[in-house]
């Protein structure tokens, strides 16, 4: 029964991954990350992804602050925005966050044109996509954790002489 539970969870994991690939949320770079995980570094993927979440939230806050400041001062530091976006592109692409990377590239293009309305629209889309990605990856890790728990469970031993 526990084996069946583990198989069902494995199927759930694969189904979610297939969906994320099909939607273009993730690309093969995510599989690269999984290939780097092994018994010597069993939590590598979750460590990298948690690091990514932590840094991404800071980047998004910085981008929002820079754009809000622009509204008040009628001046936006587009160069600084572009620097944050370069970092965001690098980190997002390295975990296979394909759709988010594309949105960052569009946002970066808007900064090069000093297009404030375009930047605002891009930021909203980026924040929305980030939330979606974070929720889906948390769901994936939750299933993985459940599967690990089921796999580690042991049947109680029965004494046939009793």
Partner 1 sequence: MAPNENSATELTALVVDDDRQLRMIHQRMLNKVGVKNQAVENGKEAVQIHCSGQGFDLILMDKEMPLMNGIEATKELRSMGICSTIVGVSSHTKEKQIQEFMEAGLDDYLVKPLNLAKLRSILDKIM
Q: Which residues bind partner 1 (CB under 8 A)?
A: 29, 32-33, 35-36, 41, 44, 47-48, 51-52, 55, 83, 86-87, 89-91, 93-96
Pairwise CA distance, residues 152 & 34, whole Å: 21
> What is the closest distance, in whole angstroms, from the C-beta atom of residue 93 to partner 1 in the complex?
4
Please report which residue ranges of the chain form alpha helices under DSSP H. Answer: 2-22, 28-35, 44-73, 78-94, 98-112, 116-152
DSSP string, 30-42: HHHHHHT-BTTBT
DSSP state of 147: H
CB-facing half-sphere around the CA of 140: CA atoms within 13 A: 21
Question: Of 29 and 69, which has the nearer Cβ to partner 1?
Answer: 29
> What is the closest distance, in whole angstroms, from the C-beta atom of residue 36 to partner 1 in the complex?
5
Question: Of 17 and 59, which has the nearer Cβ to partner 1?
Answer: 59
> What is the closest distance, in whole angstroms, from the C-beta atom of residue 114 to partner 1 in the complex?
17
> What is the closest distance, in whole angstroms, from the C-beta atom of residue 74 to partner 1 in the complex?
27
| Cα 23–Cα 24–Cα 28 angle in degrees, nearest 5 | 130
> What is the closest distance, in whole angstroms, from the C-beta atom of residue 65 to partner 1 in the complex?
19
Question: Of 14 and 41, which has the nearer Cβ to partner 1?
Answer: 41
Question: Of 40 and 161, which has the nearer Cβ to partner 1?
Answer: 40
Question: Quick check: 150 and 135 in contact, CB under 8 A?
Answer: no
Question: Quick check: 92 and 104 in contact, CB under 8 A?
Answer: yes
Question: Of 37 and 146, which has the nearer Cβ to partner 1?
Answer: 37
């Amino acid at each position: 029964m526990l084996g069946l539970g583990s198989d069902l969870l494995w199927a759930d994991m694969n189904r979610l991954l297939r969906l994320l690939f099909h939607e273009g949320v993730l690309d093969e770079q995510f599989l690269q990350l999984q290939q780097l995980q092994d018994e010597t570094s069993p939590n590598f993927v979750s460590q990298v992804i948690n690091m990514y979440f932590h840094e991404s939230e800071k980047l998004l806050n910085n981008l929002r602050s820079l754009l809000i400041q622009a509204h008040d001062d009628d001046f936006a530091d587009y160069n600084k925005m572009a620097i944050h976006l370069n970092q965001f592109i690098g980190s997002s692409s390295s975990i296979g966050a394909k759709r988010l990377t594309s949105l960052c590239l569009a946002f970066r293009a808007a900064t090069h044109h000093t297009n404030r309305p375009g930047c605002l629209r891009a930021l909203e889309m980026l924040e929305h996509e980030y939330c979606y990605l974070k929720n889906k990856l948390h769901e994936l890790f939750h299933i993985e954790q459940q599967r690990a728990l089921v796999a580690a469970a042991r049947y109680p031993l029965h004494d046939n002489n009793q």
